[in-house]
Amino acid sequence: MASRKKVLLKVIILGDSGVGKTSLMNQFVNKKFSNQYKATIGADFLTKEVIVDDRIVTMQIWDTAGQERFQSLGMAFFRGADCCVLVFDVTAPNTFKSLESWRDEFLIQASPRDPDNFPFVILGNKVDLENRGVSAKRAQQWCQSKNDLPYFETSAKEAVNVELAFQTIARNALAQETEAELYNEFPDQIKLNANDNARNRDGDNCAC
């Protein structure tokens, strides 16, 4: 298994500036929230290993600048993305409205093989704030209208749904990836299953 290829999932986070892209990423990767983040300039990424369906994968999460005119530059590096996360701020309706254009822009720039089925995940962030401007229903409806995209209401500040959302992101990204290399990966999966069972059993024992 030593020669096994490292599974790297490239995840791009897009959304208007100030919706909490950096915070979400940091909450997921570092389990920390800071209100000290500055506006992202250029692009940054963090990596995190996660287990998805009994496989260990490395998520490479790209955080981007929110202002749309910076995108043209960054997009060049987003080719080969396995999943795209669109974030909006539930207290700011216009950030919700721009989701559509973010999605289109991404599809144009990243030009995935199968644009119709490319995995997007929509996150409505800042649900910890009280002054909501976008109702969950409205967001849900939009997501349903777009080929039933997964939608999560998150709070990077209070770590609400962040883990769950990124698990879904990883899973969908992996599905995207696996389609291409299903053949190669198959034997490994069996092995890892065995491991995982052992681990689960341990976990049960350990629950003190």
Instruction: Give the residues lining the site for another protein (CB under 8 A).
Output: 1-2, 4-7, 17-18, 35-47, 49-51, 56-58, 60, 65-67, 69-70, 72-74, 76-77, 93-94, 97, 131-135, 137, 192, 195-196, 198-199, 201-203, 205-206, 208
- Residue 173 to residue 9: CA distance in whole angstroms: 6
Q: At what angle do helices 21-30 and 162-206 cross, to 10 degrees?
A: 10
**Residue 115 CB, nearest approach to another protein (Å):** 23
- Residue 83 to residue 86: CA distance in whole angstroms: 10
Q: Quick one: 72 or 147, whose CB is closer to another protein?
A: 72
Q: Quick one: 116 or 190, whose CB is closer to another protein?
A: 190
- Residue 93 to residue 135: CA distance in whole angstroms: 9
**Residue 116 CB, nearest approach to another protein (Å):** 28
Q: Which residue has the tokens 């990124």?
A: 166
φ, ψ of residue 8 in degrees (nearest 5): -115, 120
**Residue 69 CB, nearest approach to another protein (Å):** 5
Q: Quick one: 57 or 149, whose CB is closer to another protein?
A: 57
Q: Quick one: 60 or 167, whose CB is closer to another protein?
A: 60
Task: Spell out the long-range contacts of 107-112 with Cβ–Cβ below 8 A and sequence spacing 24 or more.
Answer: 109/71, 109/72, 109/75, 109/76, 109/78, 110/12, 110/75, 110/78, 110/79, 110/80, 110/81, 110/84, 111/79, 112/81
Q: Quick one: 190 or 206, whose CB is closer to another protein?
A: 206
Q: Quick one: 77 or 109, whose CB is closer to another protein?
A: 77
**Residue 175 CB, nearest approach to another protein (Å):** 18
**Residue 193 CB, nearest approach to another protein (Å):** 12
Cβ atoms of residues 183 and 189 within 8 Å: no
**Residue 119 CB, nearest approach to another protein (Å):** 21
- Residue 178 to residue 172: CA distance in whole angstroms: 10
